[in-house]
Amino acid sequence: MSGTLALTEQLIARASVTPDDQDCQQLLIERLQAIGFTCETIEAHGVTNLWAVKRGRTGAGGKLLAFAGHTDVVPTGPLEQWSSPPFVPTHRDGKLYGRGAADMKTSIAGFVVATEEFVAAHPDHRGSIAFLITSDEEGPATYGTVKVVEALQARGETLDYCIVGEPTSDATLGDVVKNGRRGSMSGKLTVKGVQGHIAYPHLAKNPIHLLAPALTELVAEHWDAGNEYFPPTTWQVSNLHSGTGASNIIPGRAELTFNFRFSTASTVEGLQQRVHAILDRHGLDYELDWTVSGLPFLTPRGELSNALVSAIGEETGVSAELSTTGGTSDGRFIARICKQVVEFGPPNGSIHKIDEHIELAFVEPLKNIYRRVLEALIA
């Protein structure tokens, strides 16, 4: 068994359902300290975070490359539906099964073993290496990576490169690298009317009827055209609620929940202003509460993406595509202190599902790709 596979299985065997780390990070600390890393644990509200650094040769002027990821996993779902216990790493049909196999314990094991091999081959390496690991990515993401980033900001520390080990690949290992993510912003809209008997509509004001023209306009609105890296911004209704349940009452209020997935072609302020302008134009009596869960980030083609795409090609023969599709990730926080953030990991077809797995044939190549990037950027 390879060192990467062995470490992956050790991590899978720890039932680290978010935000409980189950000492996964302690296992990493033991490995990293053995090769010269200084490790710092930052805990808050049941969340465990690790910041570990190994500095490069003094006076060499090398850059800092960070590996970032999460040890927490999503709940298993019904245990009886799993073909094998989710926290017992199991080989079957050329695959490794277990919760976290793809998202993202194999990536973390690849980070560690790649770093061990790199340090052994380049003990006098010029650049620095860091690990930013959290147990709060699959949960609210309130006390995880964002807290480590805030601590580093307070110290004035920045990163030059960061690889987040999210499962980005699609059909095969290495076909997709994420060089950015869209932002996510939600709104909870309450439109006020006047409740009344449905037989006397002139004595009431139906908030659904009042909202309908504005809703039609919001649905039809062209928010932006996207750009070279991002598709156009989207606006979608996720919930619409009104009424008492009775068929003879005009409701007194209507509640609508919606979400923007937006690119760097738009801003939070600009999108909010445009929504308010449409609602105001229709004369609605309303309240609107906004929640921004993540800003968009983008790493244009450059040193890090070029090194990663090259490493993928050399190791697998696959020509990687840069993409910004998908949901949010902790990259949105790391981008505050790092200009070059990319995400790369194994195929994501089974993540969060029953019988999550990774192809055994992808484990070593994944580690080798990470090592090749270290060699290209900080040796």
Surface-to-core class of residue 242, CB atoms within 10 Å of its CB (0-12 exposed, 13-18 middle, 19+ buried): middle
Instruction: Determine whether 72 is an active site residue.
Output: yes
Catalytic residue among 137, 315, 343, 359: 137
- Residues 292/183, Cβ–Cβ less than 8 Å: yes
Taking CA atoms, 12 is separated from 7, 52, 213, in Å, by: 9, 21, 52
Q: Which two tokens stand for residue 109?
A: 């094991």
- Residues 15/22, Cβ–Cβ less than 8 Å: yes
Mapping DSSP onto H, E and C, the string for the chain reads: CCHHHHHHHHHHCCCCECCCCCCHHHHHHHHHHCCCCEEEEEEECCEEEEEEEECCCCCCCCCEEEEEEECCECCCCCHHHCCCCCCCCEEECCEEECCCHHHHHHHHHHHHHHHHHHHHHCCCCCCEEEEEEECCCCCCCCCCHHHHHHHHHHHCCCECEEEECCCCECCCCCCEEECEECEEEEEEEEEECECEECCCHHHCECHHHHHHHHHHHHHHCCCCCCCCCCCCCEEEEEEEEECCCCCCEECCEEEEEEEEEECCCCCHHHHHHHHHHHHHHCCCCEEEEEEEEECCEECCCCHHHHHHHHHHHHHHCCCCEEECCCCCCCHHHHCCCECCEEECCCECCCCCCCCCEEEHHHHHHHHHHHHHHHHHHCC
Catalytic residue among 9, 20, 21, 72: 72
CA distance 338 to 373: 17
Amino acid letter, residue 222: H
Known catalytic residues are 72, 137
